[in-house]
Chains A and B, each alone.
Chain A
Amino acid sequence: MDNRALLELLADLGKAFVETFQMVGVSLGFALILGVPFGLLLHITDRGLFWQNGAVHAVGGIIINLVRSIPFVILLVLLLPITQRLLGTTIGPLAASVPLSVAAIAFYARLVQASLCEVDRGVIEAATALGATPLVIVWHVLLLEALPGLLRGLTVTVISLIGYSAMAGIVGGGGVGDLAIRFGYYRYQTNVMIVTVVVLMVLVQVLQSAGDTAARKADHA
């Protein structure tokens, strides 16, 4: 490969990564903003907790299961009309962020719920006995005590989202997955595929280590 081709590849690679980061960043943001409250709602409406509500708990659970039971490729296509209505287009990383966000919210909400279940009920009871309001308990006890688990869950979510975002290339979302398929598969430029995969491998390793470190720092148990 000559220098010009290498430069072109680097430029394409750079653009693809920016697109991937956009997709993963937007959907991760929604996972945090909506997935955490959703998981929290599922948890505190569970039996024996302070907003116990069987109906809300059951309906919430079903919604999450529905979203999670649809393979992501299908979800991508299924949500095209909604994306069109929301953004006026179905092409580009931002458009691909819509189905990614929906999947990310459902995915992370379940992980949030699982982490919150690990919080010792005795600690919640102690805070209740102190006269803490539900909001204080949520913030100072539930989320704080579950923080290491929430961070580990977030790491798992980011890495899954990177995987999902590769599929977004199918609906014109761009990103590294799209690059790898276009060059590596359609144009038989295996080296592009290899470079992309290696970069992704490094990225996942770095993210996992960062997530582990953050979780360890937050863990005082």
Chain B
Amino acid sequence: MIEIQDVSVHFRSRHRTVKAVDDVSLTIKAGTVFGIVGTSGAGKSTLLRTINLLERPTTGRVVIDGQDITRYVGEELRRTRLGIGMIFQHFNLIHAKTVSDNVGFAMKVAGRPQAEIGQRVSDLLALVGLTDKAGVYPAKLSGGQKQRVGIARALANRPQILLCDEPTSALDLETTGSILALLKEINRNFGITIVLISHEMAVIKQVCDHVAVMDQGKIVEVDDAYEIFAHPRHEFTRQLISRTLNLDLPERLLRDVQGVLLKIVYRGERAEDPILAETVRRFGVEVNILHGKIEYIGGRPIGVLIVATRGEAQAVERAVAYLREQTAEVEVLRG
């Protein structure tokens, strides 16, 4: 378990002090995938780096499995870091070492014997699917392959925690998917706690169990990933989510379609119920689906539909009331 207690990180420049992280407290349960999301400059990278003390908190404490590591220096800090793997947006591999030497380097740092290193490195390369690249230098690899080497290196000393600093932001969409799937697999198979930061809700959606939303150095909302998507409470969270869940209708449609325009959000099992059919049957209104999609967050569905409802004014009103009762959220886009 990682506990971040009242942590602030201030950067002092000549004229002013920047509060990169402003009094943040978080508890990250062991074995979960915890996402920290926010726009760039929100302080999420700085916050992540306090966990292995690449950045020392100005105030506050970082406690890992009951051990306050905040004041650790020298050998004690080094030994703590052996138990915390980290991967980076730009991979940060040693260019002058081959793939297997990059991974082996992590174990050499930990003082492991050469014989053990050889065996473990080939196991790790098999795990990340790069067995055939063992003797290749990083410059010859694609971005996704480099990140896989980064992951193998981070796992080399069997850490309990894996920190991921924008791990897919330098990768294309398809590669992003495969790297996230690998991270999820590692979390499931080895029970490693993963703390991942990203500016993309789409990334968070794919892997995280819990999410903290960060804005201007502060955590504005923490919840289950599903809850964050299903009911974002904070305005900033809504904005972030709208980019993933939003359905934009063409201007022409908004102008020309008749009737009351509704945006309906379903959650969980209700997403699979025939609520619309029931509405049509009960109130005798006409329902025309204009746009819709269902997102799965950790296997649980969230549905968003945009419909136009037409009929007698009273019937429509009752239909809307019924929908409000039956679904998570109904927003009247145009009355």
Contacts and interface: CB of A to CB of B under 8 A. Distances in A.
A125 B96 contact: no
Interface stretch (B76-84, B174-182, B190-198): B76-84
Interface stretch (A39-47, A65-73, A89-97, A141-149): A141-149
Contact of B93 (A123, A129, A147): A123
Contact of B88 (A122, A147, A221): A122
A130 B82 CA distance: 6
A181 B110 CA distance: 60
A111 to B, nearest CB: 18
Interface stretch (A79-87, A131-139, A192-200): A131-139
Q: Is the interface of A mostly helix, strand, loop or mixed?
A: helix
A128 B138 CA distance: 19
Contacts of A125: 54, 88, 92
4 smallest beta-carbon distances between A and B, as pairs: A126-B92, A131-B81, A122-B92, A220-B137
Given A129-B54, A129-B84, A145 B95 contact: yes
Interface string B72-104: 000000111110101010101111110000000
Given A123-B95, A131-B109, 18 more contacts: A123-B94, A125-B92, A126-B88, A126-B93, A126-B150, A127-B94, A128-B81, A131-B81, A131-B82, A131-B157, A133-B109, A140-B105, A145-B94, A145-B95, A218-B96, A220-B95, A221-B95, A221-B139
A141 B109 contact: no
B70 interface: no
Interface in A89-125: 120, 122-123, 125
A129 B96 contact: no
A126 B95 CA distance: 12
Q: Find the residue from B81, B96, B97 having the highest chain A CB count within 10 A.
A: B96
A133 B84 CA distance: 15
Given A126-B86, A140-B105, A220-B137, A131 B93 contact: no
B106 interface: yes
Nearest to A122: B92
B168 interface: no
B117 to A, nearest CB: 14
Interface of B: 52, 54, 78-82, 84, 86, 88, 90, 92-97, 105-106, 108-110, 137-139, 150, 153, 157, 163
Given A122-B90, A220-B137, A221-B139, A127 B109 contact: yes
A71 to B, nearest CB: 37
Q: Find the residue from B81, B82, B109, B139 having the highest chain A CB count within 10 A.
A: B109
B92 A123 contact: yes
Q: Is the interface of B mostly helix, strand, loop or mixed?
A: mixed
Contact of A130 (B105, B138, B139): B105
B96 A147 contact: yes
A141 B84 CA distance: 20
Contacts of A144: 94, 96-97
Contacts of B78: 131-133
A128 B54 CA distance: 8
A217 B82 CA distance: 33
Contacts of B82: 130-131
Interface string A33-69: 0000000000000000000000000000000000000
Contacts of B84: 129
Contacts of B52: 129
Contacts of A129: 52, 54, 81, 84, 86, 163
Contacts of B79: 131
B216 to A, nearest CB: 24
A26 B109 CA distance: 35
Nearest to A123: B92
A116 to B, nearest CB: 13
A147 B138 CA distance: 16
30 contacts: A120-B92, A122-B92, A125-B88, A126-B88, A126-B150, A128-B54, A128-B81, A129-B81, A129-B86, A130-B86, A130-B105, A130-B106, A130-B153, A130-B157, A131-B78, A131-B79, A131-B81, A133-B78, A136-B108, A140-B94, A140-B108, A141-B94, A144-B94, A144-B97, A147-B96, A220-B95, A220-B96, A220-B139, A221-B95, A221-B96
A29 to B, nearest CB: 24
A141 B96 CA distance: 8
Contacts of B138: 220
A140 B93 CA distance: 12
Contacts of A147: 96
A40 B95 CA distance: 19
Q: Find the residue from A120, A130, A221 having the highest chain B CB count within 10 A.
A: A130
Nearest to B110: A131
Q: Find the residue from A122, A125, A145, A220 having the highest chain B CB count within 10 A.
A: A220
